[in-house]
Amino acid sequence: MTSQPLADLTDADLAHVLHPYTDPRRHAETGPLTIVRGEGVRVFDEQGRDYIEGLAGLWCTALGWGETRLAEVAARQMGELGFYHLFGSKAHGPAVRLAEKLAAMVPVEDGRVFFANSGSEANDTAIKLIRYLNNARGRPAKKKIIARDRAYHGVTLATASLTGLANNHRSFDLPMEGVLRAACPHYWRNGKPGESEEEFATRLADELDRMIVAEGADTVAAFFAEPVMGAGGVIVPPATYFDKIQAVLAAHDVLLVADEVITGFGRTGAMFGAETYDIRPDMMTLAKGLSSGYLPISALVVKGDLYRVIAEEAGRIGTLGHGFTYGGHPVSAAVALETLAIYEERDIIGHVRRVAPAFQAALRKLADHPLVGEARGIGLIGALELVADKESRTPFDPALGMGGKVMAAAQTEGVILRAMGDAVAFAPPLVIDEAEIAQLFGRVGRALDAVLAATVGGK
């Protein structure tokens, strides 16, 4: 197969592709960055230039690029059973074995696994099943869902409503009714003067308790939370936060859904973020690292006692009227199983724990840069918060687009990152080594210097 000339690809892209999370007018002026191959923690453009992928694609390519074992498994499964479904009591080996494996791994008691294709679909399924089981329990009013400011749970109508980011709502007529908004647990930005992390966590838990009481606990069904908030700016929870939040939820019989789409499979230095922060979820959503991003697959794991209520209701109706054609696709499931096997065989969790100190030290060293107000993170995930004034923590005027400028400068230096407002996120492949970490942050440091010189004249 011969590759198309770059000019032809660019012209075709501009003529036919509607890009997600892209300004179409600006894209028409700049054109795409066309990536043609990947190797390890790097991807390469059509001119052969390398970029360290500082966000593992979209938080997902944990094993990096060029993992031949996954390609071989996919080809073998494609030859044996290229497609089959799970509708109407059908089954196939890869999906069953993957469900068995996940149920044994996750901190969800007696978990039952429902497969989908993306984190959005997994979270959307959780919302639907929460409604379903409360109807089954004779509690039709208990449907409201709490999500946090700056949360990210997906882009379907329902999950985008849970997502707490303005651009996911503007002109989409969102959020939908029935979503309550809790405070973002960003201690550096939202803590009061003199307030400790523990006091901040207590205040947020008290606010949550008052919200539930004011709404009526008989109307509030669930609380969705990422262990570490990803697309909202890599917000690491303050000390004692989840302990206090979970106590409030338990007191009001409100379910906890842990969105592990980004934090699952080693990102925080444990297999799941729930283990890092002692979260005991009723449901857990998984995607991204489940297949190292090599094929689309996601999963919702439901606690056993909830599953039994859902099963009883489905038996009364005669079916569980929900599913996706490609949910549990045999090729995706086979690749996911092999991905989990590689994590174990190569001790990827141990590797993350070994290199995370170097990653976090290099990240925090950039907190000394004049443009950076806070460097935060855990394991192999982190962010830099850009500010106009470090002492007062005054943010930049959004019209300046400072996050985007740093992202563009980093790309010029050979690093692909993602800016969420003025927070610049890092989540490289979990296989990154210390030398690559040093190179990554060296390039980012030069990018920050370039933006400083160009934007504020080095002052």
- Domains of the chain listed by start with CATH number: 33-66+347-456 (3.90.1150.10), 70-345 (3.40.640.10)
pLDDT at position 84, please? 98
Whether 131 shows a pLDDT value over 90: the answer reads: yes
Whether 335 shows a pLDDT value over 50: the answer reads: yes
- Helix (H) / strand (E) containing 136: helix 119-136
Report the distance separating Cα 11 and Cα 97, nearest Å: 44
For 95, residues 6+ apart whose C-beta sits below 8 A from its C-beta are 86, 115, 328, 330, 333
- Helix (H) / strand (E) containing 339: helix 330-345
Report the distance separating Cα 76 and Cα 292, nearest Å: 18
SS3 call for 117: coil
User: What's the pLDDT tens digit per position in 258-272?
Assistant: 999 999 999 999 999
Q: Which two tokens stand for residue 293?
A: 């991003």
Across the beta sheet with 42-45, the strand order is: 35-39, 42-45, 50-53, 415-416
Count the alpha carbons within 13 Å of 394 in the hemisphere toward its beta carbon: 6
Largest CA distance in the chain: 70
pLDDT at position 5, please? 64
pLDDT at position 2, please? 46
User: What's the pLDDT tens digit per position in 221-267?
Assistant: 999 999 999 999 999 999 999 999 999 999 999 999 999 999 999 99
What would the mean pLDDT of 207-217 be, rounded to a whole number? 98
State the pTM of this model: 0.96
Are 223 and 258 a contacting pair, CB within 8 Å?
no
Report the distance separating Cα 286 and Cα 347, nearest Å: 20
Whether 458 shows a pLDDT value over 80: the answer reads: no
Residue 445 to residues 16, 372, 380, 435, Cα–Cα distance (Å): 36, 11, 18, 15
Count the alpha carbons within 13 Å of 432 in the hemisphere toward its beta carbon: 33
Beta strands 144-148 and 179-182 are parallel
pLDDT at position 203, please? 98
Report the distance separating Cα 376 and Cα 360, nearest Å: 8
Are 437 and 362 a contacting pair, CB within 8 Å?
yes
What would the mean pLDDT of 12-33 be, rounded to a whole number? 95
Whether 216 shows a pLDDT value over 60: the answer reads: yes
Report the distance separating Cα 242 and Cα 205, nearest Å: 9
Whether 164 shows a pLDDT value over 90: the answer reads: yes
User: What's the pLDDT tens digit per position in 66-111?
Assistant: 999 999 999 999 999 999 999 999 999 999 999 999 999 999 999 9
The dihedrals phi and psi of 36, each to the nearest 5 degrees, come to -115, -20
pLDDT at position 6, please? 64
